[in-house]
Structure 1
């Protein structure tokens, strides 16, 4: 045990070569990232950029739609907690069953939507105006589009999207999916994801979803406990205060990350000091598959940059798991690159374009 580093932010080797040699063409160019509240363009190989426009301002709003809750001056963490609790009630109230990865996946998909714009009401109305088949298809294409952008992260999210592979979902499941979708939108998931509130990029929405849907006994069995954001923030400030130097390229390992709450606090503290978290290497490890998927989603929402590796495993049993995470992340990106120009990749791009055409035609 003396040789096993389990510090909160233990340094990985200074030069994790398999990861830092990822070609820059594999990731969206930093210079092309537009101002916040607009989605970054998605690079497909060396070709053109696929832009995701917001729905038109006259998008239909269903007549029976629930009134939208205004987040106003509520703290983002409070809004995220209320949203998660409301989604859990909607899921169980419509007899969704024990597959908590479905409601967690619904909220994750909505948060990852590539559409952004000032008129959130129009965007919400467009989504809620889709029928069950269109909504299902939209969710599929969001994951496909995000995989093209970040295969090393979306590749860890399979548990949150596998339910979409059902060819004929039953009536109860369709009703439960729509109920969670409506409740998530009502409670402001798009607003939280679109940077409408100060500091909302630091909200760990995935953690609140897991905590709200997983039973107390299951959490205890996994050794999973939700650390209050304020506690994470305090620990991060103390950790940074003890560092002699902060420089680009530093690596941070969280060996029991959950959905990334401590990484959220660390990235936020770095931003406060004028550093860009995207200049660092982040590695998150956890034993729970849903938590790992949540951490991968959060890495995209928090804009942690291209050098992020997330992996499911036991840090106590595998001392070198951080380096394995880095190697596997590089392999996922290389696999995506090998598919460029193949029938599978062309089909994925065509599906993404159909999704965008649907938005334009709404």
Structure 2
């Protein structure tokens, strides 16, 4: 049984009746972690966490990712917004724990946790996961059909030109979870080029799939030139322009937060000295 099959079984075996964004959000939280081969065993440590500790840990992870890549964290909101609720139910926390345990025991971090972006880009976990979590009928209702990896490999080999140069942008208006771009990024690495030097614009009509694109962009090391949009391209053919504005706004908000936090940090350093002063 695959990692994603075990995750789906753990989710549907729980008492939580939420949507796919919950198990996908758990896997997204785990997939952004790195597990160095010669470092501490991240999986072992997380397997010992209680449901409450896991929720706290995942909230911290997303806060950190927002500081590192605020635009990607914003675009991933559809799969992480449930973590922002202050009063998660017992059923929700237990389901988070069950999904985490299933994913880690099945070896998720062996697939996504390498410090080498080439190694952690071997598989699009989210494409497989959404297929497992959604029935065929549900996928048809939103027009969701994920490109099989073999088909993506063939498409890239037939269409990608080896004269592609840094600065060039790739655009996929029906990206799903971004699987085609994974193959392109791998091809660029195999031919001595760095995907981070190219631009990547991904769009999908499904909010969860688009959010997965944002997470995958981070996992696969696509670099700073990434745009993620969620729209029907027939109705909004220029949605990527709005994504440019969203990216700029995310970095502006981060800069404002950091600027506001600096005086507080300085005050925090002074507080021990102030509290120790004698008053006369």
**Shorter-chain TM band:** 0.7 to 0.9
What is the Cα deviation at residue 84 of structure 1?
A: 0.9
Residues in 2 aligned to 1:158 and 1:143: alpha-carbon distance in whole angstroms: 10
In structure 1, what is the equivalent of residue 41 of structure 2? 122
Q: What residue in structure 1 maps to residue 89 of structure 2?
A: 170
Residue from 121, 129, 148 that aligns with 2:67: 148
Distance (whole Å) between structure 1 residues aligned to residue 55 and residue 234 of structure 2 = 39
Residues 346 and 333 (structure 1), Cα distance of their counterparts in 2 relative to 1, 3 Å cut: farther
User: Does the CA-based 8 Å contact 1:340-1:346 persist in structure 2?
Assistant: no
Q: CA RMSD in A?
A: 2.3
User: Structure 1 residue 313 and structure 2 residue 215: aligned?
Assistant: no
Distance, in Å, in 1 between the alignment partners of 2:247 and 2:60 is 22
Task: Say which of 96, 106, 110 aligns to 1:187.
Answer: 106
- Asked if residue 292 in structure 1 is aligned to residue 210 in structure 2, the reply is yes
Between Structure 1 and Structure 2, how many residues are aligned? 265
| Contiguous gaps of at least 5 residues in structure 1 | 1-80, 351-362
2:203–2:228 Cα contact (<8 Å) kept:
yes
Alignment partners' CA distance in 2, 1:217 and 1:261? 22
Higher helix share: 2
Residue of structure 2 equivalent to 1:268: 186
- 2:17 is aligned with 1:86: no
Unaligned runs of 5+ in 2: 269-280
Task: Assess, with a 3 A threshold, how the Cα gap between structure 1 residues 313 and 345 changes in structure 2: closer, same or farther.
Answer: farther
Could you say if the C-alpha distance between residues 173 and 315 of structure 1 is closer, same or farther in structure 2, counting changes exceeding 3 Å? Answer: same
3-state SS of paired residue (2:8)? helix
8 Å Cα contact 2:174/2:202 also seen in 1: yes
Match of 1:249 among 167, 187, 192: 167
Measured against aligned partners, the alpha-carbon deviations of 1:142-194 in whole angstroms (never above 9, x if no partner) come to 00000100011110111211221233322222221111000000111111122
The 1:120/1:235 distance shift into structure 2, 3 A limit, reads same
